[in-house]
Amino acid sequence: MPQPYNTYLRETLQTLLREKELERWLAFEESSLPLKPRPVFPETSEACDTVVFNGFCVQNLATYLSRYKGRRIGVLVKGCDRRAIAVLVEEKQLAREDLFLLGVPCPGMLNRTQLLTEFPGLDADQIAEEGGHLSLKISGETRTLQREDYLLPACRVCHHRTPEDVDALLDPPPLDAPETEESFATIVSSVGEMPQNDRAALFASEFSRCILCYACRNVCPLCYCDTCFTDSLTPAWMTASPEPGNIFFYHVNRMMHMAGRCVACGSCEWACPEHIQLHLLFGKITADVRDLFAYEAGIDKDAPQPLSHFSEDDPDEQIG
């Protein structure tokens, strides 16, 4: 993101912090890892001076809100952060009026792993994001890449980039990056069309890397239960030993809990230390909920959540 944009963002945060009497902001600052900004919680004007926004601010900030319940917090929200907050409000985990939401029209987040694999050692100040392009300065040369080719899978198919129903929206947007035509249905149908054995082998090979660290659960804005089924001892459904049964149990049940709630922010995939393609799972459940119940989490605010509701005309496919 061009530096002037960060200056504009910081000034906006500082003004609003004062004017709206916020206790603190939730936003991003650069971390010690390249292309991996971390959440920051500035309480003062000076502390806002490190805030940045760029194509690597993937993590869903709504995850942190449970620890500030009942306090006046400002949050910098992308489309998916806003949707996660909408689900949390609907589930009575947060009160909307406690929050001040500053929307940022999201240009779609970039795939850090892909960039670092292709360009090892890449650092934030070597990347300039301009419209639909990325310019990389590598040993004196400039390479121009199509932004679209480096988007995270969840962001490629996102059609709710600009958050709705916010208290203020950053204007102008940081970038004018076009959306793609794709949807999760496109991605998952390409897997669904594979022969059964290949699909089994695909997930077996993805899951064979899973170490059951639960990073994907911990980062998820919508996994807020005090006791997760993974930790339940009565009954002990599974253990954290990374064996195929436990891993399968964990992922299938996590997805069933996300059905009709997942906002497809991609934070889980971003957090996974083993680079497991979790979008193949949450994309599937998101696409199915949409297909079967015409529901999108955090968007269809007036409709009841699909799994706490039913219709007598629901499809009965494969059930005899």
Partner 1 sequence: MSDFGKLDQNMPNPWQPKIVAFLCRWCSYAGADLAGVSRLSYPPTTRVILVPCSSRISSYHIIKALMAGADGVLVSGCHPGDCHYLTGNLLARRKFILLKRLLSYMGVAEQRVQFAWVSASEGEEFAALIKEITEKVKAVGPFRGFLRKDGEADAATL
Which of residues 139 and 308 has its CB atom nearest to partner 1 in the complex?
A: 308
Q: Judged by CB under 6 A, does residue 111 bind ligand SF4? A: no
Nearest Cα neighbor of 288 from 266, 252, 260, 316 is 260
Instruction: Rule CB under 8 A: choose which of 134, 188, 263, 264 binds partner 1.
Output: 188
Q: Is 304 in the site for partner 1 (CB under 8 A)?
A: no
Q: Does 1 bind partner 1 (CB under 8 A)?
A: no
SS3 assignment, position 110: strand
Locate the DSSP E strands across 94-157.
99-103, 127-130, 133-138, 141-146
Which residue in the set 191, 215, 223, 228 belongs to the binding site for partner 1 (CB under 8 A)? 191
Rounded Cα–Cα distance for residues 319 and 169 (Å): 47
Give residues 234-273 in contact with partner 1 (rule: CB under 8 A): 237-238, 243-246, 248-249, 252-253, 255-256, 259
Sorted by sequence, the CB contacts under 8 Å of residue 136 that are 6+ apart come out as 119, 122, 126, 127, 142, 143, 144, 145
- Asked whether position 43 contacts partner 1 by CB under 8 A, the answer is no
The encoded tokens of residue 48 equal 């806002």
Q: Which residue has the tokens 């629901």?
A: 314
End-to-end CA distance of the chain: 55
Site string for ligand SF4, 263-282 (x = CB under 6 A): xxxxxx--xxxx-x-----x
User: Contact 293/260 with Cβ under 8 angstroms?
Assistant: yes
**Is residue 64 close enough to count as binding ligand SF4 by CB under 6 A?**
no
Peptide bond into 172 cis (omega under 30): yes
The reply on whether position 220 binds ligand SF4 by CB under 6 A is: yes
Residue closer to ligand SF4 by CB (options 146, 208) is 208
The CB-of-230 to ligand SF4 minimum distance in angstroms stands at 9
Q: How many CB atoms lie within 10 A of CB 87?
A: 22
Which residue from 229, 296, 299, 300 is in contact with partner 1, where contact means CB under 8 A? 229
- Kindly list the residues in this chain that would bind partner 1 in the complex (CB under 8 A): 188, 191-192, 196-205, 208, 229, 237-238, 243-246, 248-249, 252-253, 255-256, 259, 281, 284-285, 288-289, 292-293, 306-312, 314-320
